[in-house]
């Protein structure tokens, strides 16, 4: 039975629809409606993945830790490792901010208390449970920590925010942790272990 617009009309709408669909398919490069929809969906997923990758590139990881009730953080890129304390040796007659020295993978590190460096009343002489070892080619310094909360991802613009003048506390993160400047830590430690000197003596 022929599909008509009204009784007596000789126009077949099904045939017209089929021809229009065929023409649209040819214009689309021979793709069916389902194939076109799939391509659009795939392109949408690709754009979403690019946007996600771009957002991830604008964030960096920090390790968050605590010492005597204070909360600190340092960028993962500046840390050699987070090491449990097992061989910390106190230094007689050496005052704060130094807690002692320890070895890690054959290297000697001076361990400092971040609260003492920051002149905070919470400075502690208690032995830490962990040490965050700073990645510095010239000096070997570790930051004392009682607890390590984990790794957090923070917006790069927050990490790059800096005070008007160089400071031990580079900025305060949204969770309240004080972001430490590794350069300021090694500069203010006053007592550091120079790996270069050890290498020179061994040659």
Digit-coded pLDDT (tens) for 88-113: 888 777 777 888 889 888 888 989 99
Angle at alpha carbon of residue 182, lines to 180 and 188, rounded to 5°: 90
pTM of the model: 0.65
Q: Which helix (DSSP H) or strand (DSSP E) does residue 192 occupy?
A: none
Helix axes 13-27, 33-57, angle to 10 degrees: 40
Rounded Cα gap, residues 35 and 99, in angstroms: 67
6 has a pLDDT exceeding 60: no
Greatest C-alpha distance within the chain: 112
Residue 98 makes CB contacts below 8 A (sequence gap 6+) with 91, 110, 111, 112, 113, 189, 191
DSSP string, 113-138: -HHHHTT-TT---SPPSEEEEE--SS
Please state, in angstroms and rounded to a whole number, the distance separating the CA atoms of residues 16 and 78.
69
Rounded-to-integer distance, Cα 98 and Cα 104, Å: 17
Highest mean pLDDT pick, 114-123, 131-140, 173-182, 194-203: 173-182
Q: What is the pLDDT of residue 165?
A: 53
Judge contact between 172 and 87, C-beta under 8 A. Answer: no
Looking only at the bridges linking them, the beta strands covering 107-112 and 139-145 are parallel
Q: 98-152 pLDDT, tens per residue?
A: 888 898 888 889 899 999 888 887 666 678 999 999 988 778 899 999 999 999 9
Percent of the chain with pLDDT over 70: 63
State the residue for tokens 């910390």.
88
Answer for the pair 58, 156: CB distance below 8 angstroms, yes or no. Answer: yes
| Burial classification of residue 158, based on how many CB atoms lie within 10 Å of its CB (0-12 exposed, 13-18 middle, 19 or more buried) | middle
The DSSP bridge pattern shows strands 107-112 and 98-104 to be antiparallel
Q: Give the tokens for residue 179.
A: 């972001």
């Amino acid at each position: 039975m022929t599909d008509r617009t009204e009784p007596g009309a000789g126009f077949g709408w099904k045939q017209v629809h089929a021809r229009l669909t065929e023409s649209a398919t040819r214009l689309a490069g021979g793709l069916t409606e389902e194939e076109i929809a799939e391509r659009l969906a795939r392109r949408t997923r690709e754009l979403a993945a690019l946007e996600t990758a771009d957002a991830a590139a604008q964030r960096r990881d920090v390790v968050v830790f605590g010492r005597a009730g204070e909360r600190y953080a340092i960028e993962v890129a500046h840390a050699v490792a987070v090491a449990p304390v097992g061989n910390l040796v106190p230094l007689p007659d050496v005052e704060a901010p130094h807690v002692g020295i320890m070895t890690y993978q054959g290297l000697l590190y001076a361990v400092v208390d971040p609260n003492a460096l920051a002149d905070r009343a919470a400075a502690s002489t208690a032995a830490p449970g962990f040490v965050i070892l700073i990645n510095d080619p010239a000096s070997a310094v570790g930051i004392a920590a009682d607890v390590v909360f984990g790794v957090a991802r923070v917006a790069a613009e927050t990490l790059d925010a800096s005070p008007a003048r160089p400071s031990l506390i580079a900025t305060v993160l949204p969770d309240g942790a004080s972001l430490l400047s590794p350069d300021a830590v090694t500069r203010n430690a006053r007592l550091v272990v120079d790996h270069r000197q050890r290498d020179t003596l061994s040659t």
